[in-house]
Amino acid sequence: MELVLVNLIDGLVTGLLLFMLSAGLTLIFSMMGVLNFAHASFYMLGAYFAYQISVYMGFWMGLLIAPPLVGVLGALVERYGLRKVHQYGHVPELIFTFGLALLIEEVVQFVWGRDTMPYDIPEILRFTAFSISGYAIPAYKIFMIFTSVAIFVVLLWVLTRTRVGMIIQAALSHPQTVEALGHNVPLVFMGVFGVGTALAGVAGVIAGPVLSTFPGMAVVLGSIVFVTIVIGGLGSLWGALVASLLIGWLTTFAKAYNIRAADILTSLGLTPPANVEESIWRDIWTVTSPQIADILPYILMVLILVFRPHGLFGKRDA
Amino acid sequence: MRRTTRIGLGAALALSISAAAAFADTIKIAFIDPLSGPFAATGEQGLAQYRFAAEELVNRKGGVLGGKMFEIVPFDNKISPKESLIQLQVAIDQGIRFIAQGNSSGVANALTDAINKHNRRNPDNRVLFLNYSAVDPALTNDKCNFWHFRFDANADIKMDALTDIIQQDESIKKVYIIGQDYSFGKAVAAAAVRFLNEKRPDIEIVGNELHPIGKVKDFTPYARKIVASGADAVITGNWGSDMLNLGRAILDNGFTGPIYTYYAAADGITAAFGEAGDGSLKLVGEGQLNPPVSARADAYVTAFKKKYPNKDIGQPRIANVIEMLARAIEKAGSDTDIVAIAKALEGMEHDALFGGKVYMRPQDHQAIQDVHVLAHTNDGITHDFDNSGYGLKVEKTVRMAGMDSPTTCRMKRP
């Protein structure tokens, strides 16, 4: 029973981390209709920038400086890259962001090399916050939870309660009208892209020490972020949150419990083949949930696309 | 204009001929390993160690056969077996007789087959395969051949040595085995189960698990299971970021027992573990860097670090490869008679630079040597990894590990 609680906390951490990435991505998509393939690369840049800053000024300055740095970089990419490509339609935009992802990975390898960086949890958070019947919950996890929740609350508040938020929301659905009212819509776009990438940067800063900072870190998370926003519904912040948590818990519980396919199949009334090792169905009968935990979100995405194409909270088709 | 071009061309030609003449006196060793892509860091490390060993252990002493120098020629195989075979052909076409390779047993399996075939068809132009790292047991068992020599202890020998150490540790009652879901991960798990059942039937294997290779973002749920199982020790064959992330997750979530690994060092891993791995992280392998076994070994590592400040002697056996090859060439009295060189290598006993003896077992060409259990620590480290202050210190040693280990090798000799 205690293990369930521990797994709930672990899943929450994974989910919230995923949310910080997908929030920016879904925001950018809803505004500009662009699927930013380079989004996870900005997450990687966040981790590397923070590592470099932490070498000289410590972890906290890294947390403070790295995300704005990534955000500015993202804004520049929008202003001098995406905006120029935008007039040619969506496909060139997709190709542009895809190329950008490859470019960022190569640049990171060029500057920092291929080794894993010794980017570590700050000294002050290196203790066990509390234990649930012997299972330690590191303080850093609690810190991660609070940071992501704070960011979600601030984001929600800005979008729904402030003038800027109202302009952004208006620009989402009626850009021409907003422009006619005298607002600088391209500037709004640039700002949203910057904030979105900065969010990815924050995720990188706080995930770098636990998921390790290496050139492959963007690739590992890249596809799952897209799955998240498709499940949540493209363009929906709430959807991104719910989908992230769903994926976090789904993968955590699948890994934590050895659910065997054989048990499920026999409970469905099927009998196992006489000699499982020789049978052509061997792979299906011997698979266990930890082995397929990381592809479960993809199965979920396929089901969502079949039965609810606009996602859990989305307003338009994926 | 034309005239100058002609003169320039002539000069270039003359230069290249004289360069070729200079190279004619070198003995070339093809280094076929990944030098680009995700595993490039490992390949670059190996290349630096080969270049340094050839320079320091052979060339500086005047070469072999009265003045022939060793030259390492790198070939990038992108860790693909197919690409390796192309590079092998290129190397053979350049007249290279010695092939060194180590990363990935998949590549080694492809190379050993190709070299066996080549030597059968071209008796005048044979090549020798110096395998310095690929540890799949099959290479010196069912798939063995006369041209293949393995200088690293294979996965079974390492597990044999590791379980010898576990056998003596009465505090270990429960063991958790976890690895990457592919041939090597499965081989490690199978060997662990077999040896533990033989040596310590009382030990309970509380978990034996495979996870997708290179796909797991967060190992926390696995770590929880390991802690929940009450295991006293963990055994894993993981490497690369899978090793680092698994190890960190296990340590972060309150596991304090030993984690026995094959590859948890260098390439950034030692630095990334840092303080967290101290006291728990163990590695089974050959070669002793700390404490240094001799003034000579000490000076060797110091000189290496001076030349390559950002690289490490992560594979001490490379020094054995170079020294033993040099001795075999001297003994054969030729650098082209591969059969004579292979016969000289067979059964050779060698005092290793990094301690102990190396014995090249004739029946399967598996090097038998001391295998250590090394501890990740910063206490008493003379030569660290990743310039981190942390390194590997010898904790326990199994002398001449696997000396009497069985082999299914039926070698055909020319």
pLDDT in tens, chain A (318 residues): 788 899 999 999 999 999 999 998 988 888 777 888 999 999 999 999 999 999 999 999 999 999 999 999 999 999 999 989 988 888 899 999 999 999 999 999 889 987 788 888 888 888 888 888 778 888 999 999 999 999 889 988 998 899 988 888 888 778 889 889 999 888 988 999 999 999 999 999 999 998 888 888 888 888 899 999 999 988 888 899 999 999 999 999 998 888 888 888 888 887 777 777 777 777 777 788 888 888 889 999 999 999 988 888 877 654
* Nearest in space to A199 (alpha carbons), one of A146, A159, A155, A247: A155
Token readout for A313 is: 């909270």
Least reliable range by pLDDT among A19-28, B192-201, B321-330: A19-28
What pLDDT score does B6 carry?
Answer: 58
Which of B241, B244, B256, B376 to probe by mutation at the A interface, max A CB count within 10 Å?
Answer: B241
Contact with chain A for residue B256, Cβ under 8 A: no
pLDDT in tens, B331-343: 999 999 999 999 9
CATH of domain B2-134+317-351: 3.40.50.2300
Contact B278, B299 (CB under 8 A): no
Q: Where are the alpha helices (DSSP H) in chain A?
A: 2-32, 39-57, 59-77, 83-86, 90-112, 139-161, 163-173, 175-180, 185-211, 217-232, 237-256, 261-267, 282-286, 289-292, 296-307
Chain B closest-CA separation from residue A316 CA (Å)? 30
Q: Domain residues of chain A, as ranges?
A: 2-256
Is any Cβ of chain B less than 8 angstroms from the Cβ of A221? yes
Residues in contact with B404: Cβ distance below 8 Å, sequence separation at least 6, in sequence order: none
Does B245 contact A115 at a Cβ distance shorter than 8 Å?
A: no
- Kindly report the nearest CA distance between residue B269 and chain A, in angstroms: 7
Q: Does A6 touch chain B (CB under 8 A)?
A: yes
| pLDDT at res. A131 | 84
Cβ-Cβ contacts under 8 Å for B122 (sequence gap 6 or more): none
Q: How far apart are CA A178 and CA A165, in angstroms?
A: 13
Distances (CA, A) of A291 to A252, A257, A258, A288: 12, 11, 9, 6
Residue A90 at interface with chain B, using a CB cutoff of 8 Å: no
CA B282 – CA B165 distance, rounded (Å): 12
Distance to chain A for B412, nearest Cα, Å: 34
Query: How high is the mean pLDDT of chain B?
Result: 90
Confidence tier at B4 by pLDDT (50, 70, 90): low
Left (φ > 0), alpha (ψ -120 to 50) or beta: where does B282 sit? beta
Residue B324, pLDDT > 50, answer yes
Tokens of A31: 């505004």
What distance in Å separates residue A160's CA from the closest CA in chain B? Answer: 33
Taking residues B55-81, report their average pLDDT: 93
Instruction: Mark yes or no for CB contact A138/B253 under 8 Å.
Output: yes
Q: Does the pLDDT value for residue B11 go beyond 90?
A: no
pLDDT at B7: 54
- Asked whether the beta carbons of residue A135 and residue B41 sit closer than 8 angstroms, the reply is no
For B97-150, the pLDDT digits (tens) are 999 999 888 899 999 999 999 999 999 999 999 999 999 899 999 999 999 999
Overall average pLDDT of the B304-310 stretch: 94
Distances (CA, A) of B283 to A54, A187, A274, B261, B396: 30, 55, 42, 5, 11
Nearest CB partner across the interface for A290, out of B211, B220, B272: B211
Which residue of chain A has the CA closest to B43? A114
pLDDT at B21 over 60: no
Structure tokens given for A218: 């963007």
Q: Class for domain B156-290+371-398, per CATH? A: alpha beta
Chain A residues with CB inside 8 Å of B220's CB? 10, 13-14, 252
Instruction: Please tell me what DSSP assigns to residue B152.
Output: S
Overall average pLDDT of the B80-96 stretch: 95
Is A43 within 8 Å of chain B by CB? no
Question: Does any CB of chain A come closer than 8 Å to the CB of residue B95?
Answer: no
Q: Do B245 and A212 touch (CB under 8 A)?
A: yes
Nearest to A78 by CA among A15, A141, A36, A41: A36
ipTM field: 0.80
pLDDT at B386 over 80: yes
Average pLDDT over residues B237-250: 88
Q: Is A256 on the interface with B (CB under 8 A)?
A: yes
pLDDT greater than 60 at residue B5: no
- Residue B252 confidence (pLDDT) above 90: no
Parse chain B into domains and list their residue ranges: 2-134+317-351, 156-290+371-398
CB B341 within 8 A of CB B329: yes
Contacts of B376 in chain A (CB under 8 A): none
Q: What's the pLDDT at B107?
A: 92
Same fold, B2-134+317-351 and B156-290+371-398: yes
Q: Does residue B364 have a pLDDT over 50?
A: yes
- Interchain proximity B212–A294, CB inside 8 Å: yes
Cβ of A118 and B386 within 8 Å?
A: yes
CB pairs under 8 A between A and B: 103
Q: Which amino acid is at A46?
A: G
